[in-house]
Amino acid sequence: MKSPYQNTHQLFASDEYKNTLKEQILKNFFHNPIKHMYLYVDAWFNFAFGTKNNPLYHLGSLAFFLLWIVLVSGLYVFVVFDTSITGAFQSVEAMTEQWYLAGIMRSLHRYASDAVIAVVLLHIIREFSLDRYRGFRWFSWFTGTPNLWLMILLGISGYWLVWDQLAQYVAIGSSQLLDALPIFSGAMSRNFLSGNLSDRFFTLMAFVHLLGLPVMLVFGLWIHVKRLTKVEVIVPRGLAIGSFLALLILSLIKPAVSHEQADLSIVPSVLNLDWFYLNVYPLLDYFTPGETLILAVAISSLLMIMPWLPTKRTPPAVVVDLNHCNGCSQCFEDCPFDAISMQARTDGARWDMEPIVDPALCAACGICVGSCPYSNPSRRSETRLATGIDLPDQPIHQIRTATKTVLTELSSSKVKIVIFGCNHGIDLTEINAPDIATITLPCTGMLPPAFIDYTLRHGADSVLISGCRSQDCYYRFGNHWLEKRIKGERTPILNKRVNREHFEFVGYAEIDKIQLLKNIETIRQRILNEGQS
């Protein structure tokens, strides 16, 4: 249905459109308030820190960075730590008194440990709210829960080693929980009867905290990211410096201190709990140890099976056509989810290698289609545009046909703007103006740069590519790879003859529709001014 307005300016300026836009914003917000609140927070963080240093875009790498701080500060603390019952508390107190070095390292160890859990929890909430945990992403989510528990156990064992009254509370509570398991049957609690706790047991706890759990965590994190390529483990420099300075300032302003020394003959009356790590222990005041364990296991199990509540359908995986594949390996290099591997050629062609797709890992994002040199829409040797790797549900030929169709529809318009967008950004179907045509892709990374040249040469005045926000592609690298292809930093590159002033690549989330409309109007006015000059 054609819009009653003659151009975008009339459409966007109309009260009817403004009211409809407001209704859509409110409807979308209440449909998924957590997601939209997160997107608004993202926008504010982009304003405050810039997209490159927005911590919400680097929660995974930030967690790795904080773990490095925990490791380095922990090694320093261990050097001067006494792993005996009588010496542990005094050695920690001695560190605290040396505020200018050992005290700072102890505080850094404590606050960086808390920050790791805070960042991981934000990471979980973010992936859930943005629906990045189901379908092909189930493995990363499923393996993330055990890692969270390993981090919590690390923190618990760390509090234990201080051997103050809080450590006593943690140790006794932990023994009660372990004794609820049939394999211990009361053996753990007997260790904490007055006079029964030995240096050997304490040394064992130090081993668990310093070596056993860290090794398990490293292995768990490796499994967690196993199905991803080019995992970001190095945090941007600005964010790293800012995070470290924040922890350092906090360590100076509010140094970490201990409670009174542990005494198994008394029951501590006042304790300052670290709720990031010790949140399970207050439950023992209301439930039996067995019931508390059942509750913890139930919550963890629910968290792990969430990708199937309900299951998210992933479109069919990409298909390789060796008749149009030269084995360049670019699809392998660009795949964000390790779904493509390379092997020796099997069809007897002169090329050495061929790609193999694992359907279980494929996200059907189409990024590999955009990386294939055969996806050039200007090829005239065939009626149907065939490429080396393609999506069965939305082949590249369909994209070229849609481009031809919208250019024909715009042929009589004074202004001709073609917008290529992705399924996870702004809904382009809501933009209905006679001088605008929209084409939606699974990801903007699926768009070969040659389509920009093709669209401009066949009648478009301007091409606008609207992907996810910068640094926040739903498929991890789609907008990043396309940006590099446009700049000529990654193949296939955009032809240098293309006038860079006639196209624009932007990144918007669902809530950024007003900015997109303003951008469209700016482009339209530029085209009209060029026509008058």
Query: Backbone phi, then psi, for 503, in 5-degree steps?
Result: -145, 160
Q: Quick one: which of 320, 374, 315 has its CA closest to 342?
A: 320
Q: Indicate the burial class of 343 (C-beta count within 10 angstroms; 0-12, 13-18, 19 or more).
A: exposed
Q: Where are the alpha helices (DSSP H) in 363-427?
A: 367-371, 396-410
Whole-angstrom Cα Rg for the chain: 29
Are the C-beta atoms of residues 205 and 162 closer than 8 Å to each other? no
Collapse the DSSP code of 362 into the 3-class scheme (helix H, G, I; strand E, B; otherwise coil) and give the result: coil
| Alpha helix segments (H runs only) across 163-236 | 165-179, 187-190, 199-207, 213-224
Give the SS3 label for residue 163: coil
Interacting residues of 277 by C-beta distance below 8 A, sequence separation 6+: 113, 114, 117, 152, 155, 156, 159
Within 8 A by CB and 6+ apart from 236, the residues are 52, 53, 58, 61
Query: pLDDT at position 17, please?
Result: 61
| 8 Å CB contact between 163 and 261 | yes
What pLDDT does 321 receive?
A: 96
> Within 10 Å of residue 11's Cβ, how many Cβ atoms?
22
- Per-residue pLDDT 10s for the chain (533 aa) are 445 555 666 666 666 666 666 666 666 656 678 888 888 899 999 999 999 999 999 999 999 999 999 999 999 999 989 888 888 999 999 999 888 889 999 999 999 999 999 999 999 999 999 999 999 999 999 999 999 999 999 999 999 899 999 999 998 898 889 888 887 666 666 665 555 667 777 788 888 999 999 999 999 999 999 999 999 889 999 999 999 999 999 999 999 999 999 888 888 888 999 999 999 999 999 999 999 999 999 999 999 999 999 888 989 999 999 999 999 999 999 999 999 999 999 998 889 999 999 999 999 999 999 999 999 999 876 678 999 999 999 999 999 999 999 999 999 999 999 999 999 989 888 787 889 999 999 999 999 999 999 999 999 999 999 999 988 999 999 999 999 999 999 999 999 999 999 999 999 998 888 889 889 999 999 999 987 76
- Structure confidence at residue 227 (pLDDT): 93
352, amino acid identity: D
DSSP string, 350-361: S-SEEEEE-TTT
The distance in angstroms from the start CA to the end CA of the chain is: 33
Distance of alpha carbon 278 from alpha carbon 168, whole angstroms = 13
- pLDDT of res. 1: 41
In 429-470 the beta strands, taken as DSSP E runs, fall at: 436-441, 462-467
Element containing residue 420 per DSSP (H, E) = strand 417-422
Beta bridge partners of 319: 390
Domains of the chain: 8-26+314-532 (no CATH), 51-263+276-305 (1.20.810.10)
Separation of alpha carbons 465 and 170, rounded Å:
55
Q: Alpha-carbon distance 465 to 115, whole Å?
A: 37
485's CB contacts (< 8 A; 6+ apart) are 370, 448, 449, 491, 492, 493, 494
CA-wise closest residue to 335 among 361, 354, 315, 304: 361
SS3 assignment, position 184: coil
